């Protein structure tokens, strides 16, 4: 892979002072500002390439797995303009790459088919890949499980022999190897099945599914909001399976019809709205050899959410349960023979508790586990004993912990990602030994660093993923002592330009981080209209030290705009208090912060014409954009709202109630945060874009907003995307949407 020359020292120096500008053309001197006609340098072919390559991401290695012995790295890769992935291996000893398996080999040219349930599951996972979209490596590394087109295939890594595990019981969901590799499990038609890999004999383990009951599947809010996609778990000795039973009989049913094809039956889904009934979830343990289910006992009425389940070597079945308000949770150790539970720890937060799906992590000795908490005001990694008592904190509160990555058993060390700068992520190592915990930083180049480790705690090889501030990217195979053994090959197309991004800290009492993208032919002697690219809500940052994130914004800027994006209060990575100021009202403080931040940038950068400001975003960003043009027409002169939530009473329980509380206890907040309360204020151009088949933010949100605007006599533009969900993966539609957006801002700004 050809890597762009790195200028790490210079970039880090500029970054430290908060004024690094990357990839810009000349910036002419002079202070006089004018509205001279702008000559667009936007690349006419860029948008087509951007869409066809899925933001130039297709062709990069993904789904990386290091084998337990550390001699091979498995990964998936598509062509540069294909969503169809193939399975590859990288030989660590020789540096050679080979293709192991393709969907063409397996299906012999037949079309790939997906069930409605699998499509919905992939929607929750934000997965657009086809072909070999996923694979699973057995614990001993000898076999690979490949689900494809509703069928299951096992590949022997040594002989490369492919064998299908045939079944006529239904489409397999969430297939897994048992820890001993002797069985493959999956869920078919709401029941858990196991298949003997040697004989091919399949048995149904669970019973009772049908109508509103499923076994072995996670419910909607677990997948969409908790990040828990699994609904059953093997015991480490492969003798038992713990499975979730879900009853949605009391949950409201939503229907999605294809209005363009009224002859087709609508799809129906249980969808829990705030203040209404959730799915009822239970957990049971079942012997694989046959026998009765043992139901796990916990205070379900007080803690209805099953947030996480872990079952690791030498450790008890461990579950995390939350109350409805998500202000309290219990970590419980389960006796799998009786179903009885013992409390390991309790977390409380007056606002809400964030989830970390990597926790708890039991260490191989079974006497200690790792835990992350925001109890001190920021994420910290803790080591606790077998009964939950704190041994010590492994990271300080002033350190921004991003994620736990790996435990190295040979050296009793932890690898993690974190930062002292909210827009970067670096790799660190910390010892588990007695004495003060000292963080050792392993990466130096400014940007975003991540890593993929083997599940074997004694493997000495990992893959280091780099997305640097100079735009270079690579996935290098390294030893734990830092030696590079090779690089995973990428066939992704290179972007035709490098975005001209300046990262800065807004001169404001809160110190917002911002990214500014100027036209590539920018001249400091001109005034430019401004477009604010916004998300503005929980979970997501739009300001990160990776210029490749701003390719589309650069194309937009090249039409004669300066694009600005900011992470204000309510966004992650700046501590508990920073994030939780939005409790009970998700719009007022972030909107005010965005306005004040923009005004501060306007004082600092004379080229920003704050009399011509547009705003756009998708999902929460779409919601924010609609609210911005309605509530602050003095600032925002045009807006584009993509897939916006309009009324929080119509979004799902787990997300909404976390931030807004229960509707009966916060009626004023729900009304203030609803777009429908402000439609009468609209006096600026607004374009609404929404997929008619969206099963996350349902199409009804935009319909309700459009209806209220119409009844209030407010002109607006509405673009429905026929039969599209919350994701828009179709290259042509992606192209057309962005052309419409830039045309809208050219017209109105």
pLDDT at 709: 98
pLDDT range class, residue 124, cuts 50, 70, 90: low
Return mean pLDDT, the chain. Answer: 92
Residue 21 pLDDT class (50, 70, 90 cuts): low
- Tens-digit pLDDT profile for residues 457-515: 899 999 999 999 999 999 999 999 989 999 999 999 999 999 999 999 998 888 999 99
pTM comes to: 0.92
Q: Decide: 298 and 330 in contact? Cβ < 8 Å.
A: yes
Cα-based angle 386, 387, 393 (whole degrees, multiple of 5): 75
Q: What percent of the chain has pLDDT over 90?
A: 85
Tokens at 344, concatenated = 């390991």
Asked if pLDDT for residue 556 goes beyond 90, the answer is yes
Instruction: Report the run of H or E that residue 50 belongs to, with start and end.
Output: helix 46-52
Long-range contacts of 108-111 (CB under 8 A, 24+ apart): 110/149, 111/149
3-state secondary structure of 684: coil
Taking a C-beta distance cutoff of 8 angstroms, is the pair 341, 332 a contact? Answer: yes
96: which 2 tokens? 């050679």
Nearest to 309 by CA among 407, 240, 389: 240
Q: Please say if the pLDDT value at position 280 is more than 50.
A: yes
pLDDT of residue 110: 67
Q: Per-residue pLDDT tens for 631-641?
A: 999 999 999 99
User: Residue 32 — pLDDT band, cuts 50, 70, 90?
Assistant: very low
The pLDDT, as a whole number, for residue 690 is 98
Q: What pLDDT is stored for residue 313 in this prediction? A: 96
List active site positions.
619, 694, 726
Kindly write down the DSSP assignment for every residue of 592-607, as one continuous string: HHHHHHHHHHHHH-TT
End-to-end C-alpha distance for the chain, whole angstroms: 42
Tokens 């100027």 belong to: 518
Cα–Cα dist 654/225, whole Å: 7
pLDDT value at 715 more than 60: yes
98 contacts 120 by C-beta, under 8 angstroms: no
Which is nearest to 265 in space by CA: 253, 274, 278, 256? 256
The pLDDT confidence band at residue 602, using thresholds 50, 70 and 90, is very high
Q: Which long-range contacts (CB under 8 A, 24 or more apart) does 407-410 make?
A: 407/361, 407/363, 407/364, 407/370, 407/457, 408/457, 408/458, 408/480, 409/364, 409/457, 409/458, 410/457, 410/458, 410/460
- Give residue 573's pLDDT: 93
Report pLDDT for 23: 52
The SS3 call for residue 178 is: coil
Under the banding of pLDDT at 50, 70 and 90, the label for residue 16 is very low
SS3 string, 718-745, reads EEEECCCCCCCCCHHHHHHHHHHHHHHH
Backbone torsions φ then ψ of 159, nearest 5 degrees: -95, -15
What pLDDT digit, counting tens, does each position of 181-234 carry? 999 999 999 999 999 999 999 999 999 999 999 999 999 999 999 999 999 999
pLDDT digits (tens, 9 = 90+) for 575-596: 999 999 999 999 999 999 999 9
Q: What local confidence, expressed as pLDDT, does residue 441 receive?
A: 97
What local confidence, expressed as pLDDT, does residue 35 receive?
52
Q: Tell me the average pLDDT across 539-550.
A: 95
487-489-492-493 Cα dihedral, nearest 10 degrees: 80
Alpha-carbon distance of 432 to 429, in angstroms, equals: 10
Please state, in angstroms and rounded to a whole number, the distance separating the CA atoms of residues 449 and 447.
7
Q: What is the CA radius of gyration of the chain?
A: 26
Q: How confident is the model at residue 122 (pLDDT cuts 50, 70, 90)?
A: low
Q: Tokens in use for 443?
A: 């990466």
- H or E element: which one contains 122? helix 116-124
Taking residues 146-166, report their average pLDDT. Answer: 93
Rounded Cα gap, residues 573 and 398, in angstroms? 11
In what side-by-side order are the strands of the sheet with 638-642? 21-22, 501-505, 513-517, 562-567, 528-533, 608-618, 638-642, 686-691, 717-721
Check residue 4 and give its pLDDT.
31
d(CA 345, CA 351): 19
* Residue 123 confidence (pLDDT): 67
Residues 47-63 pLDDT 10s: 999 999 999 999 999 99
Is the confidence at residue 12, as pLDDT, over 60?
no
Q: What is the pLDDT of residue 13?
A: 31
Rounded distance between C-alpha atoms, residue 368 and residue 351, angstroms:
29
Burial class of 673 by CB neighbour count within 10 A (0 to 12, 13 to 18, 19+): buried
In 3D space, the residue among 563, 533, 559 whose CA is nearest the CA of residue 746 turns out to be 559
pLDDT surpasses 50 at 19: no
Q: Is the pLDDT of residue 651 over 80?
A: yes
Per-residue confidence (pLDDT) for residue 121, from 0 to 100: 64
pLDDT digits (tens, 9 = 90+) for 384-396: 999 999 999 999 9
Residue with tokens 């109890």: 375
Quick one: pLDDT band at residue 106, thresholds 50, 70, 90? confident
Higher per-residue pLDDT: 717 or 118 = 717
- Quick: pLDDT tens for 426-467: 999 999 988 788 999 999 999 999 999 999 989 999 999 999
Q: b/e map of 527-557 (b: 16 or more CB within 10 Å)?
A: bbbbbbbbbbbbeebbbbbbbbbbbbbbbbb
Q: What is the pLDDT of residue 233?
A: 98
Query: What domains lie within the chain, and their CATH numbers?
Result: 35-53+494-748 (3.40.50.1820), 208-357 (2.140.10.30)
pLDDT value at position 149? 87
CB 326 within 8 A of CB 352: yes
In this structure, what is the dihedral angle of CA atoms 168, 170, 175, 179, given to the nearest 10 degrees?
Answer: -50
Residue 642 has pLDDT above 90, yes or no: yes
Q: 577-586 in b/e burial notation, b at 16+ Cβ within 10 A?
A: ebbbbbbbbb
**Residue 84: closest CA among 729, 733, 732:** 729
pLDDT at 38: 76
């Amino acid at each position: 892979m050809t890597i762009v020359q790195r200028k790490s020292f210079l970039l880090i120096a500029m970054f430290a002072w908060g004024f690094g500008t990357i990839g810009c053309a000349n910036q002419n001197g002079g202070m006089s500002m004018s509205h001279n006609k702008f000559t667009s340098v936007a690349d006419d072919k860029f948008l087509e390439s951007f869409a066809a390559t899925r933001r130039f991401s297709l062709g990069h290695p993904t789904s990386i797995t290091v084998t337990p012995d550390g001699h091979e790295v498995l990964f998936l890769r598509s062509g540069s303009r294909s969503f169809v992935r193939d399975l590859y291996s990288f030989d660590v000893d020789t540096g050679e790459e080979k293709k192991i398996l393709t969907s063409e080999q397996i299906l012999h040219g037949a079309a790939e088919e997906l069930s409605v349930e699998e499509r919905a599951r992939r929607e929750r996972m934000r997965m657009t890949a086809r072909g070999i979209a996923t694979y699973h490596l057995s614990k001993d590394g000898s076999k690979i499980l490949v689900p494809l087109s509703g069928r299951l295939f096992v590949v022997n890594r040594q002989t490369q022999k492919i064998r299908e595990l045939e079944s006529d019981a239904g489409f397999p969901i969430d297939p897994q190897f048992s820890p001993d590799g002797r069985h493959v499990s999956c869920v078919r038609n709401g029941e858990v099945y196991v298949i003997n890999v040697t004989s091919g004999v399949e048995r149904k383990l669970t019973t009772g599914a049908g109508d509103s009951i499923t076994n072995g599947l996670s419910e909607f809010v677990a997948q969409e909001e908790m990040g828990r996609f699994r609904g059953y778990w093997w015991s480490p000795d492969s003798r038992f399976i713990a499975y979730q039973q879900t009853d949605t009989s009391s949950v409201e049913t939503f229907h999605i019809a294809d209005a363009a094809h009224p002859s087709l039956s609508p799809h129906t889904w249980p969808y829990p709205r705030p203040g209404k009934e959730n799915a009822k979830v239970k957990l049971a343990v079942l012997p694989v050899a046959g026998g009765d289910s043992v139901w796990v006992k916990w205070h379900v009425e007080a803690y209805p959410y099953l947030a996480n389940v872990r079952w690791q070597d030498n450790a008890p079945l461990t579950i995390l349960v939350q109350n409805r308000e998500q202000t309290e949770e219990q970590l419980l150790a389960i006796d799998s023979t009786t179903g009885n539970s013992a409390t390991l720890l309790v977390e409380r937060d007056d606002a809400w508790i964030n989830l970390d799906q990597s926790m708890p992590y039991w260490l191989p000795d079974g006497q200690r586990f790792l835990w992350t908490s925001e109890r001190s005001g920021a994420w910290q990694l803790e080591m606790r004993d077998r009964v939950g008592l704190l041994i010590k904190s492994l990271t300080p509160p002033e350190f921004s912990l991003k994620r736990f990555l790996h435990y190295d058993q040979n050296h009793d060390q932890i690898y993690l990602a974190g930062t002292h700068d909210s827009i970067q992520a670096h790799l660190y190592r910390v010892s588990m030994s007695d004495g003060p915990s000292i963080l050792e930083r392993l990466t130096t180049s400014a940007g975003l660093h991540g890593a993929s480790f083997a599940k074997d705690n004694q493997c000495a090889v990992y893959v280091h993923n780099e997305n640097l501030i100079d735009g270079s990217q690579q996935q290098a195979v390294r030893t734990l002592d830092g030696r590079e053994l090779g690089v995973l090959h990428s066939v992704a197309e290179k972007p035709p330009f490098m975005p001209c991004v300046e990262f800065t800290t807004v001169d404001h009492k809160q110190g917002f981080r911002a990214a500014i993208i100027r036209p590539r032919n920018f001249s400091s002697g001109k005034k430019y209209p401004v477009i604010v690219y916004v998300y503005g809500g929980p979970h997501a940052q739009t300001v990160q030290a990776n210029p490749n994130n701003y390719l589309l914004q650069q194309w937009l800027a090249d039409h004669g705009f300066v694009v600005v994006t900011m992470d204000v209060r309510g966004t992650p990575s700046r501590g508990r208090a920073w994030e939780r100021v939005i409790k009970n009202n998700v719009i007022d403080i972030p909107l005010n912060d965005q306005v004040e931040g923009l005004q501060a940038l306007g004082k600092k950068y004379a080229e920003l014409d704050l009399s011509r400001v547009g705003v756009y975003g998708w999902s929460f960003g779409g919601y924010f954009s609609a609210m911005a043009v309605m509530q602050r027409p003095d600032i925002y002169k045009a807006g584009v709202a993509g897939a916006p939530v309009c009324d929080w009473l119509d979004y799902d329980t787990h997300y909404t109630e976390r931030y807004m509380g229960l509707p009966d206890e916060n009626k004023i907040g729900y009304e203030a945060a609803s777009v429908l309360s402000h439609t009468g204020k609209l006096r600026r151009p607004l374009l609404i874009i929404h997929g008619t088949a969206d099963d996350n933010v349902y199409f009804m949100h935009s319909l309700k907003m459009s209806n209220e605007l119409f009844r209030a006599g407010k002109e607006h533009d509405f673009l429905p995307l026929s039969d599209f969900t919350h994701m828009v993966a179709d290259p042509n539609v992606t192209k057309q949407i962005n052309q419409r957006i830039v045309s809208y801002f050219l017209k109105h700004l």
